[in-house]
Amino acid sequence: MAAKDKKEQRLQGTPICVGVAIGKPFVFTFSDDLVPEFSISSNEVKREITRYQKALDASRQDIIRLKDQLENEGPLEGILIMEAHLQMMQDPLITTRIEEEIRTTRKNAEYIFQIAIDEYEEKFNKIPNKFFRDRFKDIQDISRRIMQHLRKSVRITLADIPPNSIVFTHELSPSDTAEALSSSIKAFVVQEGGETSHAAIMAKAKGIPYVVNVNFGTTLGQAELKSVIVDGRTGEVIIHPTQRTLAKYRDLQKQLDIHLTNLESNGTLESETIDGYKVLLSANIEMFEEFDMLHKYGGEGVGLFRSEYLFSFNDDFPNEEEQYVLYRQIVEKMKGLPVVIRTFDIGGDKFRSFQQSFTHVEDNPFLGCRAIRFMLKQQEAFKNQLRAILRAGALGEVSIMFPMVSGLPELLEAKQLLKETCMELKSEGIETAEHIRIGCMIEVPSAAITCDILAKECDFLSIGTNDLVQYSLAVDRGNHAMSYLYSPTHPSVIRLIKMIVAEGNRNGIPVSICGEIGADPRFTSLLLGLGVHELSVASRYIPIVKNAIRNTSIVEATELAEKALGMPTAAEIKNMLVEEYRKNVAHDFLYNH
Ligand code: PEP
Ligand code: MG
């Protein structure tokens, strides 16, 4: 059926990163139903054919191994099937024809191969004799094997995607997303993903609309599809949009651009409430590109630098010098503003295979050897990072922050290492920060409940709500099936925030929020009402949150927080915040829809 004959179809997902996009679908990863399709240049043809030949060869070896095994112990029938498979794999339809197609169409091997298998299936389905029809199962078996080998060698990255693409994928990893170019990728549509997974955080940092939990299955038929609309505000994905729908969304895009440009021009305005309560608004940063935005939007510093994203962590840790060069650049880019560098947060959903090369495969990586736990076990690498940060600290206002602390001994051990490192640098005559502020992230309930003890041992606390929610509610932040339970407004979470802020005040140290809750303007008044006066959000969200702050009265925010603290469920609190935002910041149609 031609695209123009197809009916407009709407799929509903969970919105993660706001924004509206219109683009051409690009299927990025394999799942049971989806195979990636991409074009290759003429000088890549040879490499692509070799990749296919290697996959064929590896599949043949698998079958020979299986056949040998069966010869020792298996039934004769199995051996005959394996022999038949080996013969089928010599068929020119599987060998030379695929190679020829790669040459002429200049498409990737798996895409060509899948088309050939689909054609086979069609032909076999027409055969009246059931015996012969059932032979297609053998072809399916072989093709699954070949696809598995192709999958291992697929070389596409999100950096290779053609312009104006809407990427449809089963899942996204943080490192995949880190490679995505916002100039090419207009939106992500993901089958399985969590709201605050690190992949989602990267997409937000890049300003790429992102919708998860979309069951697109086989609905795409991408070859015929010219455009798809993604509404990152509502989570709607529109396939085969009519001309009318397209016109409506083009208009919406224009209005959103004007709205954002208006907010962005607030860069020089104070970040304070209607009644003059000052809120320190800093940036969370993962990539160098974000510094310009920070300055443009009037960010007052970096509240969280996720240092692990600067490096690839393929084979080894980056050495001290490599890190120093980058941290020095960060200090230069800050132009005198303060920056908090978080030590490597590796493990969980980040750099898992690297982390596993030092530990072992963990059943529960988020509860395993992650962040400070991992780095305390890799003392040499940890010290290298501390040395590089301390050296960069001699050049500007640098603070250091430890992630995923679960209790006092971890904080004390990290502080002891920092002290030793500082003394070593001094004894080597290397310039180092005279005094470096030490921060402790509060992301684990045990740390939240004992934050009075931790507060006495550091200069500031930073609440990582992404993890605090996951660990308090026992909901994996990346598990889409459990996302209905992942609620930052859960009464337990807001009580913990109130308690941490109160303990920070009692101990005379500042407390900031650096989790994603801080970047959603519908939460702003609640957080201010709970006593928070420092927020760190992805740079591009600074204008949105500043606008929310400037439309909030601290007196009303305090009343709102009191009300929220008396409510029994996350849903009631969330509904109240959504309604209040609609009333108080009615002009923000990015969040009110
Ligand atoms: C958090 O957990 O809220 C946080 C800011 O850290 P990350 O998202 O990098 O785990
Ligand atoms: Mg965290």
Out of 201, 404, 527, give the residue to mutate to test ligand 1, the one with the largest number of ligand atoms within 8 Å of its CB.
Answer: 201
The pLDDT of residue 413: 98
Out of 287, 351, 467, 496, give the residue to mutate to test ligand 1, the one with the largest number of ligand atoms within 8 Å of its CB.
Answer: 467
pLDDT at 226 over 70: yes
pLDDT tens digits for range 248-284: 999 999 999 999 999 988 878 999 999 999 999 999 9
Out of 308, 310, 514, 527, give the residue to mutate to test ligand 1, the one with the largest number of ligand atoms within 8 Å of its CB.
Answer: 514
pLDDT at 593 over 70: yes
Separation between Cα atoms, residue 362 and residue 485, nearest integer Å: 24
421 C-alpha to center of ligand 2: Å? 25
Our CA dihedral for 246, 250, 256, 260, rounded to 10 degrees, sits at 140
The residue whose CA is least distant from atom 8 of ligand 1 is 466
Out of 374, 441, 466, give the residue to mutate to test ligand 1, the one with the largest number of ligand atoms within 8 Å of its CB.
Answer: 466
Among the bound ligands, the one closest to the CA of 306: 1
Q: Which atom of ligand 1 is nearest to the CA of 443?
A: 2
50 C-alpha to center of ligand 1: Å? 42
191 C-alpha to center of ligand 2: Å? 23
Among the bound ligands, the one closest to the CA of 515: 1
Q: Which atom of ligand 1 is nearest to the CA of 514?
A: 5
Query: How is residue 444 annotated by DSSP?
Result: S
The pLDDT of residue 35: 76
Residue 212 near residue 16 (C-beta atoms within 8 A)? yes
Pairwise pLDDT comparison (124 vs 456), residue with the higher score = 456
Which pLDDT band holds residue 1 (cuts at 50, 70, 90)?
Answer: very low
pLDDT at 457 over 70: yes
Beta strands in 48-193 (DSSP E): 165-169, 185-190
The pLDDT of residue 267: 77
pLDDT at 529 over 70: yes
Instruction: Tell me the catalytic residues.
Output: 198, 514
Q: Which of 28-32, 292-296, 474-478 has the lowest mean pLDDT?
A: 28-32
The residue whose CA is least distant from atom 6 of ligand 1 is 464
Q: Which atom of ligand 1 is nearest to the CA of 306?
A: 9
Nearest to 358 by CA among 368, 366, 583: 368
Among the bound ligands, the one closest to the CA of 349: 1
pLDDT at 119 over 90: no
> What does the mean pLDDT of the chain come to?
90
Among the bound ligands, the one closest to the CA of 405: 2
pLDDT at 3 over 50: no
467 C-alpha to center of ligand 2: Å? 5
Residue 144 near residue 63 (C-beta atoms within 8 A)? no
Q: Which of 20-24, 143-147, 251-255, 587-591 has the lowest mean pLDDT?
A: 143-147
Cα 184–chain centre separation: 17
Among the bound ligands, the one closest to the CA of 465: 1
Among the bound ligands, the one closest to the CA of 342: 1
pLDDT at 554 over 80: yes
The residue whose CA is least distant from atom 4 of ligand 1 is 464
Q: Which atom of ligand 1 is nearest to the CA of 284?
A: 5
284 C-alpha to center of ligand 1: Å? 10
Q: What is the DSSP string of 388-437?
A: HHHHHHTSS-EEEEESS--SHHHHHHHHHHHHHHHHHHHHTT----SS-E
- pTM value? 0.81
Q: Which protein residues are within 6 Å of ligand 1, measured from CB?
A: 201, 304, 306, 345, 443, 464-467, 514-515
Pairwise pLDDT comparison (416 vs 351), residue with the higher score = 416
Which pLDDT band holds residue 160 (cuts at 50, 70, 90)?
Answer: confident
Separation between Cα atoms, residue 306 and residue 286, nearest integer Å: 5
138 C-alpha to center of ligand 2: Å? 47
pLDDT at 66 over 80: no
The pLDDT of residue 152: 72
- C-alpha angle 160/166/171, rounded to 5°? 80
Percent of the chain with pLDDT over 90: 64
The residue whose CA is least distant from atom 3 of ligand 1 is 464
Separation between Cα atoms, residue 26 and residue 4, nearest integer Å: 19
153 C-alpha to center of ligand 2: Å? 32
Residue 362 near residue 400 (C-beta atoms within 8 A)? no
The pLDDT of residue 34: 66
Q: Which atom of ligand 1 is nearest to the CA of 516?
A: 3
pLDDT at 2 over 50: no
Residue type at position 63? I
Q: Which atom of ligand 1 is nearest to the CA of 462?
A: 5
304 C-alpha to center of ligand 1: Å? 9
447 C-alpha to center of ligand 1: Å? 14
At 135, is the secondary structure helix, strand, or coil?
A: coil
The residue whose CA is least distant from atom 1 of ligand 1 is 464
535 C-alpha to center of ligand 1: Å? 13
> Phi/psi of residue 190, each to 5°?
-120, 135
Q: What is the DSSP string of 540-565?
A: GGHHHHHHHHHT--HHHHHHHHHHHH
The pLDDT of residue 315: 81
Out of 287, 343, 441, 532, give the residue to mutate to test ligand 1, the one with the largest number of ligand atoms within 8 Å of its CB.
Answer: 441
